[in-house]
Amino acid sequence: MTTALIVLAAGRGSRMKSDRPKVLHELGGVPLFAHALAAGRALGAERTLLVVGHGGDMVGRAARDLDPEVIVVEQAEQRGTAHAVRQARKALTGFEGDAVVLYGDTPFVRPQTLQAMREARARHDVVVLGFEPADPGRYGRLVMAGERLERIVEYRDATEAERAITLCNSGIVMADAELLFSLAAAVGNDNASGEYYLTDIVELAGRRGLSAGVVRCEEAETLGINTRAELAAAEAAFQARARAQALENGVTLLAPETVFFALDTVLGRDVVVEPNVVFGPGVTVETGARIRAFSHLEGCHVGAGAIVGPYARLRPGAELSNDVRIGNFVEIKNAQIGDGAKVNHLSYIGDAEIGAGTNIGAGTVTCNYDGVMKHRTVIGRRAFIGSDTMLVAPVTVGDEAMTASGSVITQDVPDGSLALGRARQVNKPGFARRLFERLKAARARRGREQQDREQ
Ligand code: UD1
Ligand code: MG
């Protein structure tokens, strides 16, 4: 079944008390709306539309950064959920298949639930996702007639008897795309809010002799984010789930409650994660690697058997091959580190390529930035970079080459060569002892002068 995803994200989200649109606030290291996109991707949606309004430019840009295939459509004025869906019609001209409507601020819908809705489409023309919350509050109510959904009534428009219904509307709907647009176009705004309610399509479908049905899910899945407190609670729920999933997948977490994941974190089997590790977006760690305590990783790939940290920082573009060692207070950015290479202490490696088996001594820095442009450092295989080497890029160090400790390397080093780039050492016999004596005498003199002044 071909499916298009329509994610509604035009609302202001005023209760966030933010200058940023609500759906750009982050959950699991990615903007809120990205969670709805991911659920749709898991369903295999062929086309994804994002309806934006408040801060539309910003949201649109973020969406295209995340996934260039997302079609962003604008709803200039927010006149209700049916009005929002109508904006997607043009972009889906000629599309044949189902459309599913999700909300950008509702991140926890499971792909399995969407799959169940798809299956229910065999029995109904319109399928609505319903749930029974602990407190039905102001949710729209689902008015059932046996197994059929008769209509949805918004809380503001509901009678007392309707408000007593406990089955509520999540807002998620699935129907044939052409039908959805045709029904949404027929919706009026004669209601308590003067808005075009998408919920009205159920009754309209009934009048056309079509059937609507309900798939139920847990309340936790339909949780929408409206305030910072709800965002914080959602983050906690997201992390709890991600940790449980990692353990389930065969990852060891020594202190699960101190490890933080992003939506797209991928950890292989037998990966060990020590306490206090943060995974930003875009991290993959292969089988058997160990991420030691207090490390921060984002946009990077860690090969099998590698050891990272403690206190390491892997930034976007860090590519560690198998069995690499990255030690304490080391930062790696946009750099490929070959099999078994070691960068163990106090180093910055950025815009670089390091060959297999090479050892980078403590305190080494790739000086990649000249204040205007970035330059690359290339180091060959089985090379030895002495401690405190400054590699002034662009520069190349060959295979099995060495640099002397404390060198400032500004010229390429051929294969097998030793590069010395530092001042020659001079020893002055007896100098130190004489200097110490002179300094101690000076200190004693100053002490006596001080005493004289105080008397
Ligand atoms: C909606 C449902 C209600 C349901 C509830 C579940 C309608 C009429 N009501 O109510 O039955 O119980 O969700 O949370 O659909 N949006 C737009 N453009 C608009 C209006 C809304 O993009 O013009 C987006 C919002 O950004 C939000 C979503 O649609 O992501 C839902 O809108 P919201 O105003 O929260 O609807 P509710 O009143 O909560
Ligand atoms: Mg709402």
Model pLDDT for residues 95-145, shown as the tens digit of each residue: 999 999 999 999 999 999 999 999 999 999 999 999 999 999 999 999 999
Q: Does residue 454 sit within a domain?
A: no
Is any ligand 1 atom within 6 A of the Cβ of residue 10? yes
The residue whose C-alpha atom lies closest to atom 25 belonging to ligand 1 is 11
Same domain for 204 and 257: no
Q: Does residue 193 sit within a domain?
A: yes
Same domain for 243 and 205: no
Q: Which of 16, 77, 81 for a ligand 1 pocket mutation test, highest count of atoms within 8 Å of Cβ?
A: 81
Quote the percentage of the chain above a pLDDT of 90. Answer: 98
Distance 169 CA to ligand 2 centre (A): 11
For residues 403 and 392, is the Cβ–Cβ distance under 8 A?
no
Minimum-distance ligand 1 atom for the alpha carbon of 77: 23
Same domain for 270 and 133: no
Same domain for 175 and 248: no
> In this structure, what token pair is assigned to residue 91?
């972009």
Distance 152 CA to ligand 2 centre (A): 15
Same domain for 117 and 204: yes
Closest ligand to the CA of 131 = 1
Average pLDDT, the chain: 97
List 83, 124, 345, 375, catalytic entry = 345
Distance 9 CA to ligand 2 centre (A): 11
Whole-number pLDDT of residue 313: 98
- pLDDT-derived band at 337 (thresholds 50, 70, 90) equals very high
Q: At which of 205, 222, 239 does a domain end?
A: 222
Eight-state DSSP code of residue 275: S
Same domain for 146 and 48: yes
Q: Does residue 125 sit within a domain?
A: yes
Element (H, E) at 84: helix 81-86
- pLDDT-derived band at 218 (thresholds 50, 70, 90) equals very high
pLDDT(1) > 90: no
Whole-number pLDDT of residue 23: 96
Q: Which domain holds residue 147?
A: 3-222
CATH code of residue 334: 2.160.10.10
Same domain for 258 and 192: no
Q: What is d(CA 57, CA 429) in angstroms, rounded to the nearest whole number?
A: 71
Q: Is 83 a catalytic residue?
A: no
Whole-number pLDDT of residue 16: 95
Residues 277-309 have pLDDT tens digits of 999 999 999 999 999 999 999 999 999 999 999
Minimum-distance ligand 1 atom for the alpha carbon of 198: 15
For residues 184 and 68, is the Cβ–Cβ distance under 8 A?
no
CATH code of residue 153: 3.90.550.10
Same domain for 411 and 277: yes
Q: Does residue 452 sit within a domain?
A: no
Specify which residues 379 forms β-bridges with.
354, 397
Same domain for 142 and 116: yes
Same domain for 238 and 192: no
Minimum-distance ligand 1 atom for the alpha carbon of 10: 22
Same domain for 322 and 399: yes
Q: Does residue 242 sit within a domain?
A: yes
- pLDDT-derived band at 455 (thresholds 50, 70, 90) equals confident
Spatial CA neighbour of 362 closest among 386, 326, 382: 386
Q: Does residue 430 sit within a domain?
A: no
Q: What is the pTM of this model?
A: 0.92
Q: At which of 198, 222, 246 does a domain end?
A: 222
Whole-number pLDDT of residue 12: 84
Same domain for 107 and 24: yes
Q: Does residue 72 sit within a domain?
A: yes
Minimum-distance ligand 1 atom for the alpha carbon of 105: 30
Whole-number pLDDT of residue 177: 98
Domains held by the chain: number: 2
Q: Does residue 392 sit within a domain?
A: yes
Q: At which of 222, 241, 272 does a domain end?
A: 222
For residues 389 and 367, is the Cβ–Cβ distance under 8 A?
no
- CA 230 vs CA 109, 236, 240, 259, 281: distances in Å: 16, 10, 15, 21, 21
Q: Which of 5, 54, 100, 103 for a ligand 1 pocket mutation test, highest count of atoms within 8 Å of Cβ?
A: 103
Whole-number pLDDT of residue 279: 98
